[in-house]
């Protein structure tokens, strides 16, 4: 008798029987709570979906079982008795839009595409986290109508600095997908490592993926992804409506490639894969046609691995000292009547873009304001600390699309509180500062209509494994998800703080090594 009494009390405390304010992240655009409840009876609960939505239906079925022990079965569109329906409506004004309606009789998720259905499932899941009565097997009624503010919502990992096994990347995709991120940007090459197999250039991984130590620790570090590894990740992520953006960072940040093939740089010194952070003056040579043949071959192979149209080519932090002295670079500048090494940089990207266009790819670039011009089809990244407004204004004038990932709001390698610094130059980036991120930087709408989205960057110099990556990402990525998805009028720091208890609890149950936002609570 005592055990039964205890169960009733726990059930009452843990699962409210009336609808509370929603705790969905990112915040939906329209939420209308209903008085009636949907009761889960007559197991298994049928889920109606056509064949094109089989993965989404199966995914929902697994979530219901995992979160609440609800048993369901997937049935065909011809079955009229289903109580959960997944419906496509291509007339919705956004492919990622969805509507979730819970009535007394049924649950209907309508999406503008499979992505919309998937995001509706995420919102249903999060609604049930806070509005499901386990005792009565009932979920509160609601109508949610929602679509993203921006089409580009990304997180970036940097396995070039510290290799992250592909199964760990899949775990990362699982978590980001439930917060409606739709792109994972992988920084696959840098001075400290080349991480992707290129069959025509085996030394890139034989030599370029190994370094003797890391910043004086005396421990060798290595690892790379086969093309088959990446194809498997691409397929896994695509099911969860996440596309993988590869990055080969050029012409700077290329010491690992140069260590493998010294002819790629201006002065053929035999370099070793870099073991420390900071910037190298050893670039790919801008006057050597062998460099462009190499890059054409690399892009040719990677185009078969990564089917998306977006291909990041780096472009940041490339000191031009060697280009100013290199005979080949100077000859090329004279032939083309280029007035500066910066103009040679513009030429360099035009040549790389020719290779991308053969595969219907478009370049994504870390925007450097001193480069005169980039290929017309480029998407710029506003990343430098304190220069976002200037980047927004200049990219619009030059006709580029723009992704906003400014250091003051979106650099997730920055520490989250004082005392957590891994090096003394990094500013602190607390959760509230991420939440304050407004991609337009309060500029007028007519001056910011070229902004297509947001991204958080997690540079990997001090991110040694996936648990550290999770710790630095969550819950800050929840804040960023609202900057990318939710309309500005629907965002509230106080309401967001009130959602943290539910979401951090769920991350804990999912085995995600998040950072507890202790600064939000009175201890």
Any idea which residue has 């004038």 for tokens?
Answer: 397
Q: Are 392 and 441 in contact (CB under 8 A)?
A: yes
> Long-range contacts for 221-226 (Cβ within 8 Å, ≥24 apart)?
221/162, 221/163, 221/193, 222/163, 223/159, 223/163, 223/165, 223/193, 223/195, 224/163, 224/193, 224/194, 224/195, 224/196, 224/197, 225/159, 225/166, 225/188, 225/195, 225/196, 225/197, 226/197
- The β-bridge partners of 364 are 312, 379
Distances (CA, A) of 489 to 142, 180, 438, 483: 20, 19, 12, 11
DSSP for 331-360? HHHHHHT--SHHHHHHHHHHHHHHHHHHTT
Q: Are 400 and 387 in contact (CB under 8 A)?
A: no
Averaged over successive runs of 10 residues, the pLDDT of the chain (523 residues) comes to 34 34 93 92 88 96 95 80 87 96 95 98 96 92 98 98 98 98 98 98 98 96 98 98 98 98 94 96 98 98 98 97 98 97 98 98 97 97 95 97 97 94 89 97 95 98 97 98 97 95 96 94 68
**Distance separating alpha carbons of residues 182 and 36, to the nearest angstrom:** 33
436 token code pair: 């304050």
**Distance separating alpha carbons of residues 152 and 312, to the nearest angstrom:** 14
Distances (CA, A) of 394 to 374, 376, 381, 397, 508: 12, 14, 12, 5, 43
DSSP state of 153: E
- Which residues belong to the active site? 190, 253, 317
Q: How confident is the model at residue 62, as a pLDDT?
A: 97
Domains with residue ranges and CATH for the chain:
2-146 (3.30.379.10), 152-520 (3.20.20.80)
Q: How confident is the model at residue 282, as a pLDDT?
A: 97
Q: How confident is the model at residue 10, as a pLDDT?
A: 35
DSSP for 24-47? -SSPPSEEEEEEEEEE--SSSEEE
| Residue partners of 140: CB distance under 8 A and separation at least 6 | 18, 19, 33, 34, 37, 102, 127, 131, 132, 133
- The β-bridge partners of 311 are 363
476 token code pair: 């800050």
**Distance separating alpha carbons of residues 455 and 156, to the nearest angstrom:** 7
DSSP for 370-430? TS----TT-EEEE-STT-HHHHHHHHHHHT-EEEE--HHHHBTTS-SSTT--SSTTPPP--
**Distance separating alpha carbons of residues 58 and 64, to the nearest angstrom:** 10
Q: How confident is the model at residue 18, as a pLDDT?
A: 32
What is the three-class DSSP state of 74? Answer: strand
């Amino acid at each position: 008798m005592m055990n039964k009494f205890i169960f009733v009390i726990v059930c009452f405390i843990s699962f409210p029987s009336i609808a509370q304010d929603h705790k969905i992240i990112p915040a939906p655009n329209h939420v209308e709570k209903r008085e009636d409840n949907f009761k889960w009876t007559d197991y298994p609960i049928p889920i109606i979906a056509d064949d094109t939505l089989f993965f989404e239906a199966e995914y929902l079925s697994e979530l219901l079982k995992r979160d609440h022990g609800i048993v369901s079965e997937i049935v065909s569109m011809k079955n009229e008795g289903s109580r959960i329906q997944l419906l496509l409506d291509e007339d919705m004004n956004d492919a990622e839009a969805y509507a979730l309606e819970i009535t007394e009789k049924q649950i209907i998720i309508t999406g503008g595409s499979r992505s919309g259905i998937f995001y509706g499932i995420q919102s249903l899941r999060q609604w049930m986290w806070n509005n499901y009565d386990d005792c009565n097997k009932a979920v509160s009624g609601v109508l949610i109508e929602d679509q993203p503010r921006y089409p580009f919502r990304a997180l970036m990992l940097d396995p070039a600095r510290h290799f992250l096994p592909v199964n760990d990347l899949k775990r990362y995709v699982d978590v980001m997908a439930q917060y409606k991120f739709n792109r994972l940007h992988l920084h696959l090459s840098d001075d400290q490592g080349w991480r992707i197999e290129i069959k025509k250039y085996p030394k890139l991984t034989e030599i370029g993926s190994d370094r003797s130590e890391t910043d004086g620790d005396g421990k060798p570090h290595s690892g790379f992804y086969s093309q088959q590894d990446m194809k498997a990740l691409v397929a896994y992520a695509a099911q969860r409506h996440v596309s993988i953006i590869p990055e080969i960072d050029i012409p700077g940040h290329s010491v690992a490639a140069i260590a493998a093939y010294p002819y790629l740089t201006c002065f053929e010194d035999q370099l070793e894969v870099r073991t420390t952070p900071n910037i190298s003056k050893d670039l790919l040579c801008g006057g050597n046609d062998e460099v462009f043949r190499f890059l054409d071959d690399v892009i040719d192979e990677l185009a078969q691995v990564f089917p998306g149209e977006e291909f990041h080519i780096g472009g940041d932090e490339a000191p031009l000292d060697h280009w100013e002295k290199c005979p080949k670079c100077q000859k090329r500048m004279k032939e083309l009547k280029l007035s500066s090494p910066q103009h040679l940089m513009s030429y360099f990207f035009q040549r790389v873009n020719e290779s991308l266009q053969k595969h219907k790819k478009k370049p994504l670039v870390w925007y450097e304001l001193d480069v005169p011009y980039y290929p017309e089809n480029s998407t710029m990244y506003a990343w430098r600390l304190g220069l976002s407004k200037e980047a927004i204004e200049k990219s619009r004038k030059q006709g580029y699309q723009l992704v906003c990932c400014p250091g003051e709001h979106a650099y997730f390698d920055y520490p989250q509180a004082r005392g957590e610094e891994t090096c003394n130059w990094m500013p602190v980036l607390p959760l509230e500062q991420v939440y304050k991120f407004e991609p337009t930087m309060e500029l007028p709408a007519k001056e910011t209509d070229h902004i297509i989205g947001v991204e958080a960057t997690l540079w990997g110099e001090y991110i040694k494994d996936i648990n550290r990556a999770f710790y630095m990402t969550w819950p800050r990525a929840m804040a960023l998800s609202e900057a990318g998805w939710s309309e500005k009028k629907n965002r509230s720091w106080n309401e967001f703080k009130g959602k943290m208890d539910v979401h951090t609890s769920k991350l804990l149950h999912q085995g995600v090594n998040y950072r507890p936002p202790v600064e939000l609570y009175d201890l």
